[in-house]
Every structure is written in structure tokens, then in C-alpha cells.
Amino acid sequence: MSIFVNSETKVIYQGLTGSQGKYYGLLNRDYGTKVVAGTNPKKAGTDVEGIPIFASVAEAVGETGATASCIFIPAPGVRSAVLEAAQGGVDFIVAITEGVPAHDEALFYNQLRKDFPNVQLLGPNCPGIISPGECNIGITAGHIALPGGPVGIVSRSGTLTYQALHELKEKGIGCTTCVGIGGDPVPGTSFIDCLAAFEADPETKAVMMIGEIGGSAEEEAAEFISNNMTKPISAYIAGVTAPPGKKMGHAGAIVSGGKGTAKAKMEALEEAGVKVGNNPTEAGDLMAEIVSQF
């Protein structure tokens, strides 16, 4: 099985008529994802290589039965695009765009929780989600993901999302779903959201988790793992050699007041029973050891 998306997921691309939206929308369709519509009020009634363009998400949902949306809208428009998707009837939103203002993220995150509690937002500033062999929404290269399980992946780092998939593929280990949650200060989907979903998925037998310095998400995940997870986990935390106070590329990766260091996160995860590697390859090796025991 998979979490959040599968072979039956029908996806709308908000921004399909733009260069990036078109490139990845068609790439995802070629992978096998059911990309059923795009939106652009100025180009409604046209199509992008056979994919119909509608004026709004609501119209697209009404005509196609789509349940998911992928946003390739420039940062200033993401706030309205997210809310339009929720109001339009989709229940899973993937916002790829980076550079979204933090106050916009906080606003639509809280509005979704208040008015659309059943809508799951992934991102912004994330690579998206892939259930190998079934559905790929976002910018992850499908050829690096091996289908068939038994490992679920959740990563805060975009680049390390791809490396985690590659490390497992090199070892002949398949993946149920890989979720790149992004590293912005207000992510729509957390480590805990994904860990809970993987715990509930009978086909996911183990989880690989990639974190980074800054914030407290990994420590919160460690507490959740300790209290709720029965499945084995391997992990890697990026930023071990970062100088004190160093900010990494992500807006959420800021170490302050002695908190949020790689060392503290690694210790919290190890105390929760997670096997923590010192680099992504070692995390992959640890997962291979776990899988060999199944």
C-alpha cells in the first residue's frame, strides 16, 4: 500500500500552463500519475497536451472528480491557490513553490486547520510525494524510486529525499511512499503526520527519516516514536558539522539558544530507539540491516 496518494489519485495542476508546471505536470503524467486537469482563468477551455484547463479548481473537481492538487504558482499567489484548492473540494494539496512568505504560510495553515480539517497540505517548498509505481506528484525523479516497499521515507530536505530513495534503490530496497515535507517554518505536513500514517499502513514495515538542524520537529518526532511507533526506523540529521548559530538553506533550519543542533536531535532519536547514521549512506546501510531481518 501507500500513504496519502496511490494509483487512483486524480490530480489537478494549478499552474499547468506555466513553464515549470507544464514540465513537471507532463513528467508526472508520463510516470503514470492521473493528471486530469490544470487551472488558469485566462486559458479556460484550452488544453496542455490533452490535459483540459479549467477556470477554477472547483470547476476542475466537478468535471474530473480530482481529489488532489499540485501548486506551481509563484510565491505571492500560493496563499490564494491553497485556499482555492481547499474550497474547491480537493483533500490533498501539494505546494511545491519556494519563497512563500512565512506569514502567508501561517495564515493558510491555520485556516485549513480551522475550516478544512480533512484537507492535508504538503509543503510549501517541498519536492512533493511519490508512491513508486503508482503516483508521483511534484519534482521527484521517478526513476530513482524502487516500488514494492517495505520502507516509507519522510524527509525535511529536498536533495536528501532523492538521496534516500537512491540509497535504498542501490540496495534493492523498495519504497511504499516517500514524502518530502519541506523545511519552511510552517510546514503543512509534519514528521509526526507521516510517521502516524506509516505506522497505520500494513505494507510499510520500516521507516527512514531524514532531518536537519534547526527547530524542534525532530525532537517532537522522537517523542512520538517513543510513545507510538512499533516499526523500526533509521535516520540521518543533516548539519552535524554546522558551526553554532549557523543557518542552513531552509528558512526553518535555524539553530538558536543552543537548541536545534544535530547532536541534540540525534540523541533524542537514539533515546527513542531509532538507528541514527552519521551520513545518508550509513542511514541507508542501517535500513538495509533492518530489512534483512524481515
β-strand 68-71 against 135-138: which pairing, if any? unpaired
Please indicate whether residue 250 is annotated as part of the active site: yes
Question: What is the Cα–Cα distance from 105 to 129, expressed in whole angstroms?
Answer: 19
Q: Where are the beta strands (DSSP E) in 119-195?
A: 120-122, 128-131, 135-138, 150-155, 174-180
Question: What is the Cα–Cα distance from 96 to 138, expressed in whole angstroms?
Answer: 7
Sign of the four-CA dihedral 71, 147, 179, 228: positive
DSSP 242: P
Query: ∠ CA 158-123-139 to the nearest 5 degrees?
Result: 50
The cell for 182 is 519541506
Catalytic site residue from 103, 143, 166, 250: 250
Specify the 3-state DSSP secondary structure of 204.
Answer: coil
- Residues serving a catalytic function are 250
